[in-house]
C-alpha cells in the first residue's frame, strides 16, 4: 500500500464537510460548513492518499517559528489500523520543527507512541464530559 500526502491547493469545502461524517461518530465533533470554509482557507490542507485514492486528511495551521498546529488528522475508517496514520505523521514531522494539537482520548495513545508528550488535559473541551488533550511534539536537538 502506497501512502502519500498531497497538498490540496484548492480544497473543496463540500468534499471535506462530507468526508467527516464517515470519520466522526459523535455529533459534537462535526464542524459546520462555515467552519470548514474558514479552516480550508486559513490552513495548509493535505489529502492523505492511499494507492491514489483519498483516505483522509491532515490540516495544519502555522503557529510561527516552524511550529504547526494539527487542526485535523483523519483517516477513513476502512484504512484505520493499517499504518496509514503513522506513515502520514512521520512525513508531517519531517516537514516542521514542531507540532502541537488537541486530541481526543481515542487518539491519545497513537500520538504518545509517535513521540508526542501530553502537556495538559482540557476538561470538557469537546463536549460536556469529553476532555481534550493538549499534546506537543518537539524535535530532539542533536548534540
CA–CA distance from 131 to each of 13, 59, 108, 116, 126 (Å)?
27, 21, 11, 17, 6
Q: How far out from the chain centre does Cα 24 lie?
A: 13
Domains of the chain are 3-138 (3.40.630.30)
How much is the pTM? 0.92
pLDDT in tens, 112-134: 999 999 999 999 999 999 999 99
- Mean pLDDT of the 2-8 span: 94
pLDDT of residue 128: 95
- Mean pLDDT of the 138-143 span: 64
- The residue count of the chain comes to 143
In which order are the strands placed within the sheet that holds 117-127? Answer: 3-7, 44-50, 53-62, 67-75, 98-103, 130-138, 117-127
Amino acid at each position: 500500500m502506497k501512502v502519500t500526502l498531497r497538498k490540496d491547493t484548492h480544497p473543496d469545502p463540500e468534499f471535506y464537510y462530507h468526508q467527516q461524517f464517515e470519520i466522526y461518530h459523535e455529533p459534537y465533533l462535526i464542524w459546520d460548513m462555515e467552519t470548514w470554509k474558514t479552516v480550508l482557507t486559513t490552513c495548509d490542507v493535505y489529502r492523505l492518499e492511499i494507492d491514489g485514492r483519498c483516505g483522509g486528511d491532515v490540516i495544519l495551521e502555522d503557529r510561527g517559528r516552524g511550529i504547526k498546529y494539527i487542526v485535523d488528522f483523519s483517516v477513513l475508517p476502512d484504512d484505520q489500523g493499517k499504518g496509514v496514520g503513522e506513515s502520514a505523521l512521520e512525513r508531517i514531522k519531517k516537514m516542521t520543527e514542531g507540532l502541537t494539537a488537541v486530541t481526543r482520548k481515542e487518539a491519545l495513545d497513537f500520538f504518545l507512541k509517535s513521540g508526542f508528550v501530553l502537556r495538559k488535559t482540557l476538561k470538557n473541551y469537546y463536549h460536556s464530559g469529553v476532555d481534550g488533550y493538549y499534546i506537543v511534539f518537539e524535535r530532539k536537538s542533536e548534540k
